[in-house]
Amino acid sequence: MKPGHIGRQGFTLIEMLLALSVGSLMLAAIVAASVCLQKSFVAVDDFFTSHLQQVRIIDYLSRDVKRAYIVISSTNPQTVTCILPNYLTDNGSNQPTRAKPTLSLVGNKIVANYQPTTTVNNVTLIQNSANITCPGLSLISTHFSSTNVGQSIIGTGIPAGTTVQSVSGCVLGNCSQATMSNAAYVSTTSADVTIGSLTNVVYSVVNQAIRRRENGAITNIAASADNLIPTTSNIELLNTEFTRSTVTFLPIFAKGNPGFYNDERAGTMVFSLSYLRNRRRGDG
Amino acid sequence: MTNEMRVLTQNGNDGNVLLCALCTIVIVSFIGASVLINCTRHYNITAKQLKGWKEALYAAEAGGDAGFDEVRKARDPTNLPFIVDGWTTAPSPAPTPGPAWTKTISGFGQGANLSTTVTIDKLTDNTGTIPSTTPYYRIRSVGTARLYGLPRTGLSDKFFAAGPNFVANSASRGAGDTLLRKIDFKYDHFKATYGDGDGNNLGSSPVPYPQITRRIELVAVPKYYVFGGALRVVNAFNGPGAPGFVDSYNSKNPTNPNPSSPKVINNDIPGPNTTSYYGSNPSNSTYLADAHDGDVSVAATNFIEGGPIWGDVTTNGGNVTHSGYQISGTIDNNVPFTIPPLPAPDTTGFTFTNPGTQTITANSTSGSAPTGFVYSGISGSVTIMNGNASDPTFPYAYAKIVVNGDITGKITVEKGVTAEIWFTGRMRVKGDDLDNQNVDRGTQTANPGSVGIPPSIPPTLADDPNPSRVGHMKFFGISPTISGTTQTIEIDSPGNIFATFYAPSADISLTGNVDVFSAIVGRSFSGDGNAGFHYDKALNQVQIGVVTDYQIASYVEDVR
């Protein structure tokens, strides 16, 4: 019986090279598949995460628009500014309490206020001017006063976040003119303005994120949804106002022609339509 | 022939393949598990938490609607609110100043996962915006939605800050969905932190299952009637007389050529002393925009027209058309409406006046708290004086007279006085008997002084808050309390009339050659002869003190 040469047989060079080649190809395929799978997973995860942030932004925005007195939107820069009633009273304990509503007249309408506010009727605004005037010496209920200094002032044609800097033309405490911190962006007469303690909420696009600021303090609501296209419609004939907003983002797997990016972005659009339930409707 | 035995041996290197396969399976499993976890998280957030968050608002708003619907019943004396249908008095301590009522509606939504609790408190205004006798209501509603799915998936765990309470700011509360959705997994964060919302009754309150709650607050304020058209009647309309017409003007319009004393002299010939803005002279385009709003509304089919109507006409089932009638505006024969009966006002604090008293003085400067007088009837002559006429800043006064009987005598309203005259009986007068001495757009002017007397310039010159002359003399017909009884208002010539009439239960008739500057709400109306009816559009912005409904004046969401 001849002993066998088991275990001593080697591969030929050809076999070895062939095996290495096949093995390398298989390994490369596995690695490539893993990388692709991982990239795909990351892309899908990013897409879903961005989508959730879109929804959250829209929910925040809709909530703020619904309870706003005034909403001003701008497409350049892309911002939405909401003027809200100061419903909560900060008592310093980080546990604010609710304010009691009081009533006042705006024009011929009864409105509710949560913090002391005053309404001045029949004011005149001039575009690009910070001066605002009223017939304070002829109508008993419409004038500025020294207590207005430092308070927020809101109304058509007045930029959001504007405050009263000073008052003048005062007779027995009734002042016919005030100076605002910002210039008016339209000219108007016979307008109504509300002065008092109010809350400003501003949505804006900063780098690749949409930022919400409430009285200047940042609320982190999203990190990657990066495009806000707001539009506010104020249809006086219907005595109503609503805000249309869309939020988009660019998926990380978008590649190729930049023109393709727009299509990719458009495919991620989330849309909302919110009516101002709290809009002041003075018609005097 | 060689006969060699073949011995099979195991090759130790074969195990590598198995290891490689296992590793691949493990890696793929990890990836698959990650994908599944991610999908579950997204599914929970998008399908469960978003659904719950939105449904909680729907539930809260449903509660708000239920509360508002109950508040609106307050205008119907036969259907008092807050006593049936699950409403109960709110437990102590009631929201200040109270009283308050509450109701819980539960078990609606998919799988009965939604509930809402409404609390309504009755408030009174002390700013003079509305009379203190008329309440307004704060409606607070909490909507709760059960949260299905795995708890805490994808949410921050930063619920507890320090101590037993939750804290609402983003630094301690977390960010993103945690800050926005405020899901209660084990404890009601709101009750623990804010108690009833005002810091009362703080304490840990376990929740039976994960939930999302949203809170809204509505403020319902009274809605006052304003005259939105010339004539509004429930039962029948027959007018104006063939030579007459119904049209409109606007006393606030500064182009009114003669606002202090509108005269009806030859309407077809414009001139300095004529009220040429009437619809009878449509070629005068200067006042055309104000001339064609003499609207007539009838809540029945009974509509007979004599002269032209410069305005819109509505009926309830009538067959009015442009071809058969002289109507300048639109016609709609499908407009039903009701006018609730007018109850007698509260006369607490009023002065009971001898029927022979001919002069009374109004001193109040508030339309919501006028100087009050009570008469048993007016058959002679009554003059309402302006007690503030010499006031340098506000020379105007408000009076409210309640007549528990008929009006058949003369009533004079001095300049600067806005008078409400409420009466229970019938009214039968001539146009001259209703002497309204006010003017349109009353404006106080500074005293220029005279020789030897320095000018007296008031510190604040006050325009009359009520721009309409007509709006200074307002008649209210109190609905009879005996069923089947009808009130009558009969006005005859001579003399023009500058007054409004709100008498939902009265049959109103104008006869003779009178011109009426007015707005009328009644049970029926008839006008014959050369009776011109001129509606002052400024009345559309003057509340007449009658609450007809409630409306939402504020909507706030409590985002804590």
Give per-residue pLDDT as tens, A173-200: 778 889 998 898 888 877 778 888 788 8
Residue B292: predicted pLDDT: 82
Give per-residue pLDDT as tens, B480-528: 988 778 899 999 988 888 999 999 999 999 888 878 889 999 999 998 8
CB B240 within 8 A of CB B311: no
Kindly state the percentage of chain B with pLDDT values over 70. 79
Residue B207: predicted pLDDT: 87
Q: Cα(A6)–Cα(A10) distance, rounded to whole angstroms?
A: 10
Task: Tell which of A11, A52, A241, A275 to mutate to test the B interface (max B CBs under 10 Å).
Answer: A52
- Torsions phi, psi for B474 (to 5 deg): -120, 120
Contacts of A44 in chain B (CB under 8 A): 35, 38
Residue B17: predicted pLDDT: 79
Q: Across the interface, do A108 and B170 touch by the CB < 8 Å criterion? A: no
Cβ within 8 Å of A, B 441-460? 459-460
ipTM, 2 dp: 0.76
Which amino acid makes up residue A280? R
Contacts of B50 in chain A (CB under 8 A): 55, 59
Residue B401: predicted pLDDT: 96
pLDDT over threshold 50, residue B93: yes
- Torsions phi, psi for A170 (to 5 deg): -95, 135
Residue B446: predicted pLDDT: 45
Q: Cα(B139)–Cα(B63) distance, rounded to whole angstroms?
A: 9
Per-residue DSSP letters for B277-288? TSTT-TT-GGGH
| A263-267, B172-176, B416-420, B459-463: segment of lowest average pLDDT | B459-463
Cα–Cα separations (whole angstroms), residue A45 to A211, A266, B151: 22, 19, 20
Provide the CA A87 distance to its chain's centre, in angstroms. Answer: 20
Query: Average model confidence (pLDDT) for chain B?
Result: 80
Residue B96: predicted pLDDT: 60
| A18-22, A249-253, B500-504: segment of lowest average pLDDT | A249-253
Per-residue DSSP letters for B215-256? EEEEEEEEEE----SSEEEEEEEEE--TT--EEEE-TT-TT-
Residue A36 burial (10 A CB sphere; 0-12, 13-18, 19+): exposed
pLDDT range class, residue B231, cuts 50, 70, 90 = very high
Task: Choose among B411, B535, B524: nearest CA to B470.
Answer: B535
Query: Residue B168 falls within a domain, yes or no?
Result: yes
Task: Choose among B18, B13, B20, B121: nearest CA to B71.
Answer: B121
Task: Choose among B431, B510, B413, B547: nearest CA to B471.
Answer: B413
Q: Cα(B235)–Cα(B303) distance, rounded to whole angstroms?
A: 9
Cβ within 8 Å of A, B 477-536? none
B69 inside 8 A of chain A by CB: no
Element (H, E) at A228: strand A227-235
Q: What is the DSSP letter of B160?
A: B
Both tokens of residue B350? 């009023």
Query: Residue B488 falls within a domain, yes or no?
Result: no
Contacts of A1 in chain B (CB under 8 A): 3-5
Q: Across the interface, do B394 and A140 touch by the CB < 8 Å criterion? A: yes
CB B360 within 8 A of CB B378: no
- 3-class state of residue A13 by DSSP: helix
Residue B314: predicted pLDDT: 95
Sign of the CA dihedral running B168, B171, B176, B177: negative
Q: Cα(A282)–Cα(A70) distance, rounded to whole angstroms?
A: 13
Q: Cα(A132)–Cα(A149) distance, rounded to whole angstroms?
A: 13
| A23-27, A97-101, B57-61: segment of lowest average pLDDT | A97-101
Q: Cα(B128)–Cα(B125) distance, rounded to whole angstroms?
A: 7
Q: Which residues of B470-503 are buried (b: 16+ CB within 10 A; e: fewer)?
A: bbbbbbbbbbeeeeeeebbbbbbbebbbbbbbbb
Residue B15: predicted pLDDT: 66
Torsion of CA A83, B167, B193, B151, to 10 degrees: 100
Which carries the bigger pLDDT value, residue B2 or residue A25? A25
Q: Cα(B402)–Cα(B376) distance, rounded to whole angstroms?
A: 8
Cα Dmax for chain B: 161
Q: Cα(B154)–Cα(B172) distance, rounded to whole angstroms?
A: 17
Cα Dmax for chain A: 132
Interface size A-B, in CB pairs within 8 Å, comes to 151
| B108-123: average pLDDT | 91
Query: Residue B44 falls within a domain, yes or no?
Result: yes
Q: Across the interface, do B138 and A101 touch by the CB < 8 Å criterion? A: yes
CATH of domain A117-196: 2.40.30
Cβ within 8 Å of A, B 269-328? none
For residue B77, say if its preceding peptide bond is cis, omega within 30 degrees of 0.
Answer: no
Residue B178: predicted pLDDT: 67
| B85-99: average pLDDT | 74
pLDDT range class, residue B253, cuts 50, 70, 90 = low
Residue with tokens 């990239």: A39
- 3-class state of residue A177 by DSSP: strand
A234 DSSP β-pair partners: A241
Kindly state the percentage of chain B with pLDDT values over 90. 34
Residue with tokens 């409210």: B400
Which amino acid makes up residue B312? D
Domain map (residue ranges) of chain A: 42-82+200-275, 117-196
Q: Across the interface, do A55 and B50 touch by the CB < 8 Å criterion? A: yes
| B256-281: average pLDDT | 38
Give per-residue pLDDT as tens, A106-160: 666 788 888 777 778 778 889 899 999 887 555 445 688 888 888 888 777 787 6
Residue B275: predicted pLDDT: 43
pLDDT over threshold 50, residue B277: no
CB B153 within 8 A of CB B181: no
Cβ within 8 Å of A, B 102-141? 123, 125, 127, 129-130, 136, 138
pLDDT range class, residue A8, cuts 50, 70, 90 = low
| B324-330: average pLDDT | 87
How many beta carbons lie within 10 A of that of residue B234, not counting itself?
19
pLDDT over threshold 90, residue B104: yes
List, in order, residues 6 or more apart from B321 with CB less than 8 Å away: B331
Highest mean pLDDT among A224-228, B74-78, B291-295: B291-295
Q: Across the interface, do A95 and B541 touch by the CB < 8 Å criterion? A: no
What total of structural domains would you count in chain B? 1
Residue B70: predicted pLDDT: 92
Residue A94: predicted pLDDT: 67
| B75-95: average pLDDT | 76
Q: Across the interface, do B180 and A110 touch by the CB < 8 Å criterion? A: no
Provide the CA A239 distance to its chain's centre, in angstroms. Answer: 24
Q: Cα(A149)–Cα(A182) distance, rounded to whole angstroms?
A: 14
Which amino acid makes up residue A25? L
CB A54 within 8 A of CB B543: no
- Torsions phi, psi for B192 (to 5 deg): -70, -35
Q: Cα(A82)–Cα(B376) distance, rounded to whole angstroms?
A: 56
| B60-87: average pLDDT | 86
- Looking at the partner chain, which of A37, A48, A67 has a beta carbon nearest the beta carbon of B557? A67
Residue B364: predicted pLDDT: 93
Residue B376: predicted pLDDT: 93
- 3-class state of residue B37 by DSSP: helix
Contacts of B194 in chain A (CB under 8 A): 95, 97
Both tokens of residue B174? 């977390």
Per-residue DSSP letters for B120-146? EEEE---SSSS-TTS-EEEEEEEEEEE
State which residues form the domain around B123: 34-224+552-558
Give per-residue pLDDT as tens, A73-112: 887 778 888 888 888 877 666 677 888 888 887 666 788 8
β-strand pairing of B302-305 with B231-239: parallel
- Looking at the partner chain, which of A34, A88, A104 has a beta carbon nearest the beta carbon of B129? A104
Give per-residue pLDDT as tens, B128-143: 788 887 889 999 999 9
Task: Choose among B440, B471, B465, B438: nearest CA to B539.
Answer: B471
pLDDT range class, residue B162, cuts 50, 70, 90 = very low
Residue B333: predicted pLDDT: 95
pLDDT over threshold 80, residue B271: no
CB B306 within 8 A of CB B244: yes
